[in-house]
Amino acid sequence: MNTNNELNLANVLNKRVIYDITPFTLLDYPHKTACILWFTGCNMRCSYCYNPDIVFGKGKKTIGEALQFIQSRIGLLDGVVLSGGECTLHKQVFELAIELKKMGLLVKIDTNGSNPIFLEKLIQNNLVDFISLDFKALPNKFQAITQSNLFSAFEASLLLFQQYKIPFEIRTTVHTNLLNVEDIQAMIAYLEKMEYKGIFYIQNYLNNVKTIGNLANTSNKITENIFSKTNIPIQIRN
């Protein structure tokens, strides 16, 4: 007879919530070899988002199919990146992380920080090893950029990661029609006030790429030398 746990795992394995799998990356998990699972859906609608097909699309692969692929890569991968979309919208990520840990793999989560309760559950159960936290904007521009009122949830997640001392990074995508230099300087001041000690990664918007908001190209780029007097190290990712 199947136990409740076995039935629950079977239900999880059959969930078709993964849009696609990137089989190998050296870029998305710092200093690790990894694959990426792209989860469908998101609770924000950032106009510069490069993944509209993932945000609005339906899952093409089940969690069981993803685990079968990952099992075939044991020995080649150090870890798995759970991305999206917003992967924490899917409660099945908890059981997935358990299975990944059984395989001896590291787990990295890319998140907008909108689900701190679920993130804390993962951290408390030692199911996540590294987190990339997207810092969209400060409250004065957060709703306009994300079409959501989730800044307080983002802030709660930031405090949570600091409380548990989980390794994490903060990153911001910048289209200069949406965020200007003064906005970035204010965001840096906020992180200093929150006693963030890590690197603040700034990702300049990529032109000629399909996005949710169909933004126009921008010729303006943020450079590190603009922020030479900050207490937080700034690094540009392009």
Q: Are 69 and 172 in contact (CB under 8 A)?
A: no
- Tens of pLDDT, residue by residue over 172-200, are 999 999 999 999 999 999 999 999 999 99
Parallel/antiparallel/unpaired status of strands 200-204 and 18-25: unpaired
Q: Please report, for the chain, the start and end positions of each structural domain, with discontinuous segments joined by +.
A: 4-237
Q: Are 218 and 173 in contact (CB under 8 A)?
A: no
Q: In this predicted structure, what is the pLDDT of residue 7?
A: 61
Give the confidence band of 221 by pLDDT, cuts at 50, 70, 90: confident
Q: Are 124 and 161 in contact (CB under 8 A)?
A: no
Q: Are 124 and 130 in contact (CB under 8 A)?
A: no
Measure the CA–CA gap between 134 and 36, rounded to whole angstroms.
17
Instruction: Kindly report the average pLDDT of the chain as a whole number.
Output: 94
CATH topology of domain 4-237: TIM Barrel (3.20.20)
pTM over 0.85: yes
- Tens of pLDDT, residue by residue over 60-82, are 999 999 999 999 999 999 999 99
